[in-house]
Amino acid sequence: MKKIFSAALAWAFALLLGLSAASAAEKPKYVFLFIGDGMSIPQRMMSEEFNKLMTGKGLVINSFPYQVMTTTRSANSFITDSAASGTAIACGEKTNNGVIGMDVTQSKNLVSTAEVARDAGKKVGIITSVTINHATPAAFYGHNPSRGNGYALGLDLIKSNFDFFGGGGVDEHGDGDVDIYDLAAQAGYTVVHEPEELLALQPGCGKVLAVRKDGALPYAIDDPDGFRDADYLRKAIELLDGDAGFFIMTEGGKIDWMCHANDAGTTLREVIDLDKAVEVACEFAEKHPDETLIVVTGDHETGGLTLGFAGTGYNSYIERLQYQKCSQDVFSGILRDVADDYEGVKAAITEWFGLKFDGDDDDPMKLTDSEKEEIKKAYDRSGENHKEISRVTHTVVKIFDNKAGLGWTSGAHTALPVNTSAVGVGAETFKGMIDNTDISKKLKELVK
């Protein structure tokens, strides 16, 4: 990581200082767009601080020379959803919440940057950690009045004729008369579901649909050594590289999910996971410094994350998030196995979150009497046979985040602007304060 990070910094500042041979008038042959779903400035800065404390290095995405504030509202709401924001980033036009790749009247299909790149002869790849027909990735190839029409969006995926899809599986792939995977194969896609099958493919193999059979990728905190966005991207680069160049969009989709759940420890590891995929692009750009553009943005902020908490005053303890060892989804499963024994529940809380019920009063991870009472109340209210044991999980995560000096204001999206970062050929166009529609407008000009 150190070598790649240093290379990214050196490359970024060489371009900034005008040491690259490429002129501003030239267009990039290779364009990488990264979207952190639910990732705004708080998520980036929390992850930056954590990474610095743990490794001595910040995020690669925060090292880019061009950093611009980006507004996110949809056509019909100050607070956007992922369908409208994904459409704005992909197509350069506002639409209503819930709408994919169509205008506000839902009568006109919009054209995405990916479609422009395809029509210009470039190879196109779409990668995500969530399901491949989820709102954000679907906005680059889909056209539908509702983000919920998963099967129809799966059909749009096939119709797009894009060259590479990777990551989470097709949601609702079997809800129609014919399975989406079978239809993709009939349309000429090589369909693979296991990493080993993808890694065995060679350039020239044709169009590829390399996704899990069902569902999203596991959370990075639960599967740190698994096949991640960075791995899909590395293989996509190998398969798509050629004379025509490529456009690849990679989404860190599960940042949003854990921000909805107000789980900071899992969230920051998803941000870092996306940053690792950006490192792969930087590694490629080091070899193609005069031909590559990398852009990183978020579609909106989720959760109202605050980098401060009344109980910790002016102090921050982000490093305490290292004690969380699993996502809250996995933790709820762990609690279900011991739910009939409160002592077992307490032991699990200590093992997986480092929160202590006993010990030295000076230990910052020791629970206060009020915090212990709060957890016990959640346990007592977990219902018959503790079917609602997730009440305990949510309480534990809230207390844990507060001890790190973090708070949340919402379980939904907010209207907070996001940060867009850019480096490479054409990056200088990303300056000032922009709207999310400007990202597509700029990229369309660059991929033509």
pLDDT in tens, 192-229: 999 999 999 999 999 999 999 999 999 999 999 999 99
Give the pLDDT confidence of 47-103 residue by residue, as tens digits: 999 999 999 999 999 999 999 999 999 999 999 999 999 999 999 999 999 999 999
* Best CA proximity match to 123, nearest among 163, 154, 95: 163
**Predicted confidence (pLDDT) at residue 383 exceeds the cutoff of 60:** yes
Q: In sequence order, which ranges of 17-79 are alpha helices (DSSP H)?
A: 41-55
pLDDT number for residue 25: 53
Residue 427, Cβ neighbours under 10 Å: how many? 24
**Predicted confidence (pLDDT) at residue 7 exceeds the cutoff of 70:** no
DSSP codes, 196-251 = HHHHH--TTS--EEEE-SSSPPPPTTT-TTS--HHHHHHHHHHHH-STT-EEEEEE
Sheet containing 292-298: which strands, arranged edge to edge? Answer: 190-192, 208-211, 164-168, 123-131, 246-252, 30-36, 292-298, 418-424, 66-71, 434-435
pLDDT number for residue 177: 79
**CB-based contact 57:2 (threshold 8 Å):** yes
For the chain, give the percent of residues with pLDDT over 70. 94
- Tell me the β-bridge partners of 418: 70
pLDDT number for residue 120: 98
**Predicted confidence (pLDDT) at residue 40 exceeds the cutoff of 90:** yes
Q: 262: which DSSP letter?
A: T
Helix (H, G, I), strand (E, B), or coil: what is residue 11?
Answer: helix
Helix (H, G, I), strand (E, B), or coil: what is residue 5?
Answer: helix
Give the pLDDT confidence of 146-181 residue by residue, as tens digits: 999 999 999 999 999 999 999 999 999 997 779 999
- Distance from CA of residue 363 to its chain's centroid? 34
pLDDT number for residue 137: 98
d(CA 252, CA 35): 6
Handedness of CA 45, 47, 53, 56 (dihedral sign): negative
User: Is this structure's pTM higher than 0.85?
Assistant: yes
d(CA 359, CA 368): 11
Domains and CATH numbers, the chain: 2-305+412-447 (3.40.720.10), 308-405 (no CATH)
Q: Which residue has the tokens 């990303």?
A: 430
- In terms of DSSP bridges, do strands 413-414 and 301-302 run parallel, antiparallel, or are they unpaired? antiparallel
d(CA 429, CA 442): 7
Spell out the SS3 assignment of 159-178. HHCCCEEEEECCCCCCCCCC
Average per-residue pLDDT in the chain?
94
**Predicted confidence (pLDDT) at residue 21 exceeds the cutoff of 90:** no
Helix (H, G, I), strand (E, B), or coil: what is residue 411?
Answer: coil
Confidence of residue 389 (pLDDT cuts 50, 70, 90): very high
Identity at 66, one-letter amino acid code: Y
pLDDT number for residue 409: 97
Identity at 290, one-letter amino acid code: D
**CB-based contact 322:217 (threshold 8 Å):** no
